[in-house]
Amino acid sequence: MFGYIRPFNDELRLKDHQLYKSVYCGLCRSMRKNYGILSTLALNYDCTVLAMLYMSVKNERCSVRRGSCSINPLKKCLLCSCEGEALEFAGAVSVIMSYYKLRDTINDSGFPKRLSAFFGRAALYRNYKKAVRKYPYIDSLTSEMMKRQLEAEKENSGVDRSADPTAKLISELCRSFSDDEKNKRTLSVFGYHVGRWIYLMDAADDLEKDIRHKSFNPFKGRYDGDIKHTMIYCNEVLNMTAAQIVLAYELLELNSFKAILDNIIYSGLSYQQKKYTETRFIAKDKNKDYYGMLDEIE
Amino acid sequence: MNDPYRILGITPDATDDEVKKAYRKLAKKNHPDRYQNSPLAEDASEKMKEINSAYDTIMNMRRSGNNYSSGGTYSDSYSSSASHGRYSDIRILINNARFDEAEQRLSSIPPSERTAEWYYLMAVISYHKGWLEETYNYASAACRLAPDDVEYRSFFSRIRSQRNGDYTSFGGNSSSGCGCCEMFTCMLCSDCLCNACCRS
């Protein structure tokens, strides 16, 4: 369920793109340092954005330096490091969430997947314990979320109810970024809809697979499994959620990474949405520019 | 108090037109109408006040120096029409952010007695929870039952346009772009290019 929140690179300035990459690499480096080299397997784009948001809200000073990649020492890259806890926090979030995700896979997948998830979990176990010691509340929030998610799936709930656990989790995580009561409120609404959006994107992405395997999906009940119509519906639901993200985002008090975050919120979300819903299922006309890359020529 | 220029996102050497432009952009972005029924409505109106007073401060400062007139600030009064009988106490609960209680009270009303206002209030509560699908369904039911009510209609049309992907403060993101604007930017760009060539 990771990696949907990303910038739309084509509209990002080169320097912002490099800064974004440096945060990604910096997060990887910090995870290697804090939770061991195997924890970098859990690295993902969503947590990179989480780290940037954290730094931006808390106004943490950060610096970018040249270094070499944590995995491939021959590759040179830019590394972002910050004085505060942003990278450590985001690293802990991705380790803990990946661990739970793997545990979930072991419980309800076929044999080959189960086996690889089992080894993955064993590899992550020590790193997970370490992250939990530092941030016990992330662990308790995530396990609570997983429990509620299971209940919602058992009851075959609708869109709102099944997206609620993930939304609440991200909401609580974002809420912890600020000490100011007003900012907390804005951050928690922002986080709620970001979490909801991630969950719904994942559901839309898995829809085809879930119909084939007859597993749970909140969108499945609609239109008797007609994928094209369901995708139009998914897109509408996602649009509404993105609208709420934008409303809350515009009230946030941010200090840095503004250009990247703007890009993610205003272009990245809708681009990803189109990529996973429209262009995959709805677009059949090859002559139309579904990505909006070409300017319209009259 | 914060620096008024920082609030508007400009520097003190901005021209009056730039100040006005920055103010209009922000005012549009944070206009309370966009946040109708949202859990962040209060924060938005507070921010609007901040923007208004920053703009007034700058304009007053400048006017004492030279005689420029300022455009009037946007008003940020948004009041919901609350002249409804049966549901007035539930509206009070909602206004005081006691949503669980309000939802319980509403749920206890039997289905046969549910009016358009019942559906509208359920929509408002769902909106606060972030349950947007229920919001949409309730609001559309309210509009179906009372097609002429301004309050229900304005709320529903707002969430419907969000649903169609029209939600950024500058109106972007919908599929069809504005031909005129694009043509104009093209002209501007080519103008810049010309300048660059001639100068070098």
**Tens of pLDDT along A20-31?**
999 999 999 999
pLDDT value of residue B121: 92
Give B192 or A196, the one with higher predicted confidence.
Answer: A196
Q: Which of B35, B37, B132, B163 is the best substitution to test chain A (most A C-beta atoms within 10 A)? A: B132
Domain contains A18: yes
A202 closest CA partner among A249, A262, A266, A159 = A159
How many interface pairs between A and B have CB atoms less than 8 angstroms apart? Answer: 84
By mean pLDDT, which of A27-31, A246-250, B181-185 is the weakest?
A: B181-185
| Rounded average pLDDT over B64-68 | 51
- Write out chain B residues lying below 8 Å of A242, CB-based: 165, 167
By mean pLDDT, which of A20-34, A216-230, A251-265, A281-295 is the weakest?
A: A281-295
What is the location of CATH 1.25.40.10 in chain B? 88-163
Q: How far is A65 from chain B (nearest CA, A)?
A: 29
Our count of domains for chain A comes to 1
A281 closest CA partner among A248, A235, A241, A240 = A235
Q: What is the mean pLDDT of chain A?
A: 87
Q: Give residue B81's pLDDT band: very low, low, confident or very high (50, 70, 90).
A: very low
Amino acid at B74: Y
* B159, B163, B165, B168 alpha-carbon torsion, rounded to 10°: 30
Q: How far is A272 from chain B (nearest CA, A)?
A: 13
pLDDT value of residue A83: 85
| Rounded average pLDDT over B81-101 | 77
Q: Which of B49, B133, B140 is the best substitution to test chain A (most A C-beta atoms within 10 A)? A: B133
What value of ipTM does the predicted structure carry?
0.80
A285 touches chain B (CB under 8 A): no
Q: Are A251 and B43 in contact (CB under 8 A)?
A: yes
Percent of chain B with pLDDT over 90: 10
- B88-163, which class in CATH? mainly alpha
Domain that holds residue A78: 9-281
- Quick check: A238 pLDDT over 90? yes
Residues 202-261 of A with CB under 8 A from B: 235-237, 239-244, 246-248, 250-251
Residue with tokens 């809200």: A57
B160 closest CA partner among B131, B176, B139 = B139
| Rounded average pLDDT over A183-191 | 93
Cross-chain CB nearest to B163 (options A161, A192, A240): A240
Residue with tokens 């809420």: A175
pLDDT, tens digit, 9 for 90 and up, residues A41-57: 888 899 999 999 999 99
Domain contains A295: no
- Quick check: B183 pLDDT over 60? no
Q: Give residue B65's pLDDT band: very low, low, confident or very high (50, 70, 90).
A: low
A166 touches chain B (CB under 8 A): no
- Quick check: A131 pLDDT over 70? yes
- Measured from the Cβ of residue A46, the count of other Cβ atoms closer than 10 Å reads 20
The C-alpha R_g of chain B, in whole angstroms, comes to 23
- Quick check: A150 pLDDT over 50? yes
Q: Which of B35, B162, B175, B176 is the best substitution to test chain A (most A C-beta atoms within 10 A)? A: B162
Contact A185 B39 (CB under 8 A): yes
The CATH number for A87's domain is: 1.10.600.10
Cα-Cα end-to-end distance for chain B: 46
pLDDT value of residue B179: 37
B32 closest CA partner among B73, B72, B75, B71 = B75
Domain contains A216: yes
Nearest CA in chain B to A265: B168
pLDDT, tens digit, 9 for 90 and up, residues A69-123: 888 888 889 999 888 889 999 999 999 999 998 888 887 777 778 888 888 888 8
- Quick check: B50 pLDDT over 80? yes
- For residue A82, what are the β-bridge partners? A62
pLDDT value of residue B185: 42
pLDDT value of residue A291: 58
| Rounded average pLDDT over A189-202 | 94
- B4-65, which class in CATH? mainly alpha
| Rounded average pLDDT over B42-61 | 85
